[in-house]
Each structure stands twice: as structure tokens, then as C-alpha cells.
Amino acid sequence: MTSTASASPDVSRRTGPDLLMGAALVAVAAVYVRALAFTPVEALQGPAQKILYIHATSAFIALYVAFVLMAIASILYLWLKDEKLDRVAESAAEVGLAFTTVVLVTGPLWGKTIWGAWWTWDARLTSTLFLWFIIVAYHLLRGAVEERGRRARYSAVLGILAALLVPFIHLSVYLFRTLHPMPILLKPSAPSMPSEMQVTFFTAFFAFALLFAALLRARYRIATLRDSVDDLEQAHA
């Protein structure tokens, strides 16, 4: 099937500073300031608990925003065959990989400080680890296929299958955990969180969501430029 966007993508309009990215970076910096200076220290865990503002929000965005976007864009691509959707999926996957990596780095940092162990096969962290493997595999697949249409189709198939896999991973890891008693762990007590912490969480979430959007858009533009360069090269070949 030919893609509906058979004309080269329009790249003529983008000049000037990336205001969205600027706003996102300011928001993230503001969250750092707020979390470190203006939010109370949690009694049980001490200052290390503040990693959670990055860790938990990154985890949420990686799975529920980046990955879901990648999966939906994949399904839509197979249905509509529009190249733009493939670029969205590609961008969501790459930005999602960055956020997932943040989760996997901040998790052990927090865990070592709080529990004394770098890695404990915690259900969520393990699921995030597998998500990381899946997204890496997605990028490896894209890197191994040169022809654009085939690359888009293969990636879309993998994206959809990965979306089907995630519930199975969650279920398996959860089942594994509940049947294997692990040492009692300290967990942040969400319901009884003081309001300043809740506000910090919300602002953190907002700032990181903004960052995700800015990174996604920038990455999407790079993909568009790359594809139009390819088209030009082919036309002159």
C-alpha cells in the first residue's frame, strides 16, 4: 500500500526558538526548587524520599503516556498508513525510553538509600525494566530495517504486540511477588501525604508532562526532517 503522505513532508515553517521546550525546562527547574527548598522532608525516609517526585512521575509518563501513545499510533498507522503516525510512534518510543531510563536509575538510587539494596525485584520496577527491554528492542528493529515503509509496518506490529504484552508482564510479576514473600519495605504513604507534598507531586507531574510534550515535538521534527532528506536523496538518485 502506498502511504497517503506521498509528498515530501512540509518542513518550511519552523524557525525561531522552541518556546515549548523553554517553558518545559523552566517548569522542571521550578519543580526542583520547590521540591528541594519548599517541600517538607518526609519523616521516615528523610531527604531521599524527594527522588520520588522524579521517579514516580517519570514512571507514570513512561508507561501511561509514552507507551500508550506509541501503541495507539502503531494501530492507527496499520489502519491509515499515514507516515506521520509512524513518526509519532518513533518519537514517543524514543522519548519514552529516556523517561524509562530515568525510572530505572532513580529507582535503585532511592532503594539503596531507603532499603539498603540496589535492586529488589519490586513489582513495578521489574515491569519497568521489561518495558525498557521492549522499547530497546523496538529501536533495534527500526535500526535494522532500511526501507521506510517496511520499517514503519514492522515497528507498528511490534508496538501493538508490546502493548498486549505489558498486562501479562504486570500480572506475572505481581503474581510472582505475592507468592514470594519479600522483606517488608517502607512505602510512601500516599493518602496521608501533607498538602505541600501533594502540590509538589502535581506540579512535578505537570512539568514533566510538559517536558515530554516538548521532547516529543522536537523528536518528531527531527524525524520529519530526516524523512524529507531521504526523499530528496532518492529523487536525485
Partner 1 sequence: MSERQPLSPPGMMAAAWIVARKDLAIEFRTRTAFLSAVVFALLGVTIFYFAWDSTAVSAPDLAPGVLWVIFTFAGLLGLQRSFASELADRAVDGLLGAPISRESIYLGKALANLVFVLGILAVTIPAVVLFYNLPFGGGVVMLAGIAGLAAIGLVAVGTLFSAMAVNTRMAELLLPMLSLPFFVPIVMGAAQSSSRLMAGRPVAEAWPWLRILLAFDIVFVTACTLAFPFTLDE
Partner 2 sequence: MVTTPVVRAEGLVRAFGGRRVVDDVGFTLHARDCLALFGPNGAGKTTLLRLLAGLLTPGQGTVLINGVSLTTGTSARAQVGLVSHASMLYGTLTAHENVAFTARLHGLPDPAAAALTALTTMRVHDRADTPVRALSRGLQQRVSIARAIVHEPALLLCDEPYTGLDETGAAALTAALAERREAGAALVVVTHNLPEGLALATHTAIMRRGRFARFEARDAVDASAYPAQYRELTAVHE
Report residue 64: phi and psi, to 5°: -85, -15
**Torsional sign, CA 86, 87, 88, 93:** positive
3-state secondary structure of 119: coil
Shorter beta-carbon distance to partner 1: residue 173 or 211: 173
CA–CA separation, 142 and 82 (whole Å): 17
Shorter beta-carbon distance to partner 1: residue 103 or 210: 103
From the list 52, 158, 210, 216, which residue makes contact with partner 1 (rule: CB under 8 A)?
158
Give yes or no for residue 140 binding partner 1 (CB under 8 A).
yes
Give yes or no for residue 168 binding partner 1 (CB under 8 A).
yes
Using the contact rule CB under 8 A, the part of the chain among 44-52, 116-124, 145-153, 189-197 near partner 1 is 145-153
DSSP labels for 166-192? HHHHHHHHHHHHHHS---------STT
From the list 36, 137, 229, 232, which residue makes contact with partner 1 (rule: CB under 8 A)?
137
Shorter beta-carbon distance to partner 1: residue 75 or 109: 75
Report residue 26: phi and psi, to 5°: -60, -45
From the list 7, 19, 144, 184, which residue makes contact with partner 1 (rule: CB under 8 A)?
144
Give yes or no for residue 2 binding partner 2 (CB under 8 A).
yes
Shorter beta-carbon distance to partner 2: residue 7 or 37: 7
DSSP annotation of 50 reads: G
